[in-house]
Amino acid sequence: MSHGPIDSPRDNCYSSVVTWCNSLVKVMILRIEKGSAVPISRQIGGQIATLCASGKLQPGERLPSVRELARELAVNQNTILRVYERLVHDGLLEMRHGQGTFVTDGARANSLVFHRQRLLEELRQLTRQGVALGLSSEQLHELLAEALDQLREIAPNLEETSQ
């Protein structure tokens, strides 16, 4: 059976290079998967949070306006407004009336908390799946250890941190 272009996996996602100007031209790349079960607003918010956590978006940096980002990503302005409001609530961004949306001073630390919570939720989901398959706690720990070992093989200089 032949699949048309709409059925192609590549057509279900796209990356946008978003550019905007403050005093300098800024660029950020956001990837949206249209066919994903994850809402577009969560995809965008998660990627902006990751950019904050990595330091690619610096404290005090102005982000594109709601209108600019919505246009660049070809999404509804309300979607971007919800993303920005959620990131304000999470302490990553601040909206200054008449000036724009800016990365907060504590964005990196707050973003790491956000990512840790998201990772914990993903681990809970995987644990539920493992339990549903009849795996014991010990077997689940073994699988995690195996995944870590495989990661270390790929990145031998991987530094482990504990919090």
Same domain as 103, residue 133:
no
Q: Please state the rounded mean pLDDT for residues 40-44.
A: 94
Q: Which residue has the tokens 């950019």?
A: 51
Q: Which residue has the tokens 């990553």?
A: 92
- pLDDT value at position 6? 38
Same domain as 114, residue 103:
no
Same domain as 86, residue 36:
yes
- pLDDT value at position 130? 93
Same domain as 103, residue 113:
no
Domain of residue 80 covers: 5-107
User: Do β-strands 25-33 and 93-96 pair in parallel, antiparallel, or remain unpaired?
Assistant: unpaired
**Does the global pTM surpass 0.75?**
no
CB-count exposure of residue 144 (10 Å: 0-12, 13-18, 19+): middle
pLDDT digits 0-9 by tens, 114-159: 778 888 988 999 999 999 999 999 999 999 999 888 888 887 776 5
pLDDT digits 0-9 by tens, 47-90: 999 899 888 999 999 999 999 999 999 999 999 999 999 999 99
